[in-house]
Amino acid sequence: MDYKKIIKNKELRFKILHSLKFVPDSLMLKLQYKMKMGRKLNWKDPKRWTEKLQWYKKNYRTPLMTQCADKLEVREYIKSKGLESILNKLYAVYDSADQFNLDILPQKFVIKTTNGSGTNILCKDKSQLHLDKVKQCLNDWMYRDNFSVGREWSYKDIVPKIIVEEYLEDKSNPFDGINDYKFICFNGKAKFIVLDVDRNIDHKRNIYDADWNFIDVSTDYPNFGDTVPMPEGLDEMLRVANILAADFPFVRVDLYWVNGTVYFGELTFYPWTGYVQFVPDEFDFILGGEFQLPIRKSIGGDL
């Protein structure tokens, strides 16, 4: 079922899911998995990565996950690992959009809300920024209930804030913007790398193993073949990813390699909300085979 064609407005879909917050996690995750993946969710003996991510949402919950999903508080976690040098420059922190002050900001910057994923605004020229529209967008994002949308527990107790960071540029990059390297890590070891390029124009996605061998797999975005050379900073990014992943059974570590330097992006515990169709489908099982489910660890049951 292509629910996005039935309910085209994204915010309306979120409101409907919020209204269903009373539905137990186990039932809602089964329903969403069936709707989005077109098959039943195997709770008892999950084999697929996408199935195990649903188990992870429901059964593995620690305060450290909440800290690391928070785009502001994660900075302290990074510092505690001795990796402060990979943090992007932080210009401002706001409790509400009404506090936003363009006068103190440089010409270019990136705005993010701390309590979600994909809630970013890239500003290349602040003189062209429609501030009223930006504030409205930020208010919508800050008060969006990201937990009830996909039962992504790590977002549940984040105190929403707005942060403004440095705008990173790589003028040598043949693609638009900067390359986004997503390290798929199991028990502190990066096993696969997802490369996203041209995110703002013609989004494409490649998948590699940790030795930068191309894997011919597509997701909701097409791959573009074995055409990208191994980045000079691969070894350093792998080192950083493994350090940041060490405390978790599974996490995706997002990094950038810009002008000879590693920069931190985010830590994600439920990539793509755990709903992604791989072509070929076998890759879902390959990832699932790497994900050794931990002993159930939860600070609460169904919420």
pLDDT for res 301: 43
112 and 38 in a common domain: no
Residue 2 resides in a domain: no
Record the pTM.
0.91
pLDDT for res 95: 96
Cα-based angle 50, 54, 150 (whole degrees, multiple of 5): 105
Quick one: which H or E segment has residue 241?
Answer: helix 234-245
CB 156 within 8 A of CB 62: no
| Domain end point (choices 112, 146, 168) | 168
CB 176 within 8 A of CB 198: yes
Q: Residue 113 and residue 106: Cα distance in Å, rounded?
A: 19
Residue 33 resides in a domain: yes
Q: Residue 196 and residue 184: Cα distance in Å, rounded?
A: 13
Q: Residue 85 and residue 134: Cα distance in Å, rounded?
A: 30
290 and 181 in a common domain: yes
- DSSP designation for 302: -
pLDDT for res 294: 87
- DSSP designation for 232: T
195 and 146 in a common domain: no
CB 110 within 8 A of CB 166: yes
Mean pLDDT by 10 residues, the chain (303 residues): 57 69 89 94 95 96 97 98 98 95 94 90 93 92 85 94 94 76 98 87 90 95 90 97 98 95 97 96 98 76 40
pLDDT for res 253: 98
pLDDT digits over 1-59, tens only? 555 555 656 666 667 777 777 789 999 999 999 999 999 999 999 999 999 999 999 99
For residue 265, the SS3 value is strand
Distances (CA, A) of 287 to 137, 184, 278: 35, 9, 11
Helices 25-37 and 49-59, axial angle in degrees (round to 10): 160
| Domain end point (choices 168, 199, 227) | 168
Q: Residue 91 and residue 105: Cα distance in Å, rounded?
A: 7
Residue 80 resides in a domain: no
Domain containing residue 130 = 88-168
pLDDT for res 295: 78
Residue 285 resides in a domain: yes
Site of tokens 């055409």: 227
C-alpha 209: how far from chain center: 19
Q: Residue 248 and residue 179: Cα distance in Å, rounded?
A: 25
292 and 199 in a common domain: yes
CB 217 within 8 A of CB 223: yes
Domain count, the chain: 2
180 and 257 in a common domain: yes
| Domain end point (choices 139, 168, 197) | 168
Q: What are the two backbone dihedrals, phi and then psi, of residue 18, each rounded to the nearest 5 degrees? A: -65, -40
pLDDT for res 81: 98
pLDDT for res 302: 41
CB 71 within 8 A of CB 163: yes
pLDDT digits over 172-188, tens only? 776 667 889 999 999 99
For residue 281, the SS3 value is coil
What's the distance, Cα to Cα, between the start and end of the chain in Å? 27
